[in-house]
Amino acid sequence: MAAKPHVLVAGGGFAGLETAFGLRLLLGDRVRISLVADREEFLFKPNTIYLPFGGAGDRLHIPLPGPLFRRHIAFHQGTVAGADPDALGIELTDGTRLRGDFLVLATGAAMLPQEVPGLVEHAETVWTPGQMRALGRKFQDLREDALAGRHRQVLFLVPPGNKCAGPLYEIALMLDTWLRRANARSPVHLTWTTYESGYVQAFGPQLHRVVEQEFAARDIDGHTSAVVEKVGDDEVRYTDGRIRPFDLLVAFPPYVSAVDFPALPHDDRGFLHTHPGTRQVTGHPQVYAPGDAGDFPVKQAFLAFLQAHAVAEHICTVIEPELLGRPRPFEPISMCVMDMLDKATFAQVPLEATGDPAVPVRVAPDAGDRYRVGTSPAWRLGKKALGLYLPVRFRAGRPFHSGRPWQAMELALNGMARTLADSPE
């Protein structure tokens, strides 16, 4: 290892930036940090859900060179093609090779709509800002048709292989509110289908119950254990033989790893096998995979922050063993706010990976009162606060999940959660 250890971070998303900013905060000038990303800006993807409903997109983009320069983090723009774990290096698509003493692979996930026959040709998919804006144009057409008295059927689809369908639930519920505000809801039939056995299955029975109640109150026809077989011009066929028609199909495709790393252990979708607590790639102690690139079954921003924090602390204790003492391992406690435009649902969910492909994640058996779910218009303010807090931190080159600002934010969220939590049944 060099006199000043070099940490090479691949990825400019939640996990990559949180790791890089966290390392700088923990180690100061004791470490050299480089970050590689395929673009010069960070996209705050969770808030792209507002784009179909007229939300502005400019605030979702944060230029990277400034914050990285401010924290003395070298920036390389390029697309990662692969990794050499023995050399602790990566190769870019232009042939450039970079090496470090520690390698953090935070290259994220991508969508594979081609996995479902007909999905590419006949569905509106949600992932990129461009796709969200295209969906918004479809919603505008839908509203005009409804106002003209033309009946339309909108079908929402979650196929197997999707790792976090929360944003699609938000879009479905927000569409209901948006249409009602325009007095255009009654001619539109909304149907929801998911392959999972429960709504937002990973987050347990309380959130399932909230969604079930919302669907019933909003006249959304919801179906679980509905596994898609193929998509046609105007209908979806399921493996149980059912056929559901649509005028507009909105789907969240299956996930795969954004970058293939054949030299490293990975699952059938390319996600890297890791040590649960440290996110070290199995068999490669100086290679880490926080966030969506790793094998934790749920892909979500808050969980990526927690994983990145664990990685930064673990690397810190390897470089400076006396600085922190024992590093805190990754403990998967998800926090999310599901917006509906008229109100929102907050969920704090301690999770546990099961190893069962059918139910890869469940609510931790010892969750107790840490498992909190509540619905209130006030949670829309909570989501807005989080949406303002993160850009401020990243623009300053500071980690999201660290320091007094986060402690204050966490205290406020926990206070709201205790006050507004629903009573479990």
Query: Is residue 222 classed as helix, strand or coil in its secondary structure?
Result: strand
Contacting residues for 79 by C-beta, under 8 A, at least 6 apart: 38, 92, 93, 94
Amino acid 26: pLDDT: 96
Distances (CA, A) of 240 to 227, 228, 244, 382, 393: 8, 9, 12, 40, 48
183 closest CA partner among 235, 216, 146? 146
Mean pLDDT in order along the chain per 10 residues (425 residues) = 86 98 96 97 96 92 96 98 97 97 98 98 96 98 98 98 96 98 98 97 95 98 98 98 98 98 97 98 98 97 96 96 89 95 96 92 94 93 87 93 76 73 60
H helices of 111-198, in order, are 119-122, 129-147, 166-181
Length of the chain: 425
Tell me how far apart the alpha carbons of residues 378 and 401 are, in angstroms, rounded to a whole number: 22
Give, to the nearest 10 degrees, the angle between helix 14-27 and helix 378-395. Answer: 60
Tell me how far apart the alpha carbons of residues 126 and 78 are, in angstroms, rounded to a whole number: 25
Tell me how far apart the alpha carbons of residues 212 and 425 are, in angstroms, rounded to a whole number: 14
Amino acid 2: pLDDT: 54
Q: Which long-range contacts (CB under 8 A, 24 or more apart) does 89-96 make?
A: 89/8, 90/8, 90/10, 90/36, 92/36
Domains of the chain, CATH where assigned: 6-111+256-420 (3.50.50.60), 113-251 (3.50.50.60)
**pTM of the predicted model as reported, rounded to 2 decimal places:** 0.95
What letter represents residue 299's amino acid? K
Amino acid 423: pLDDT: 52
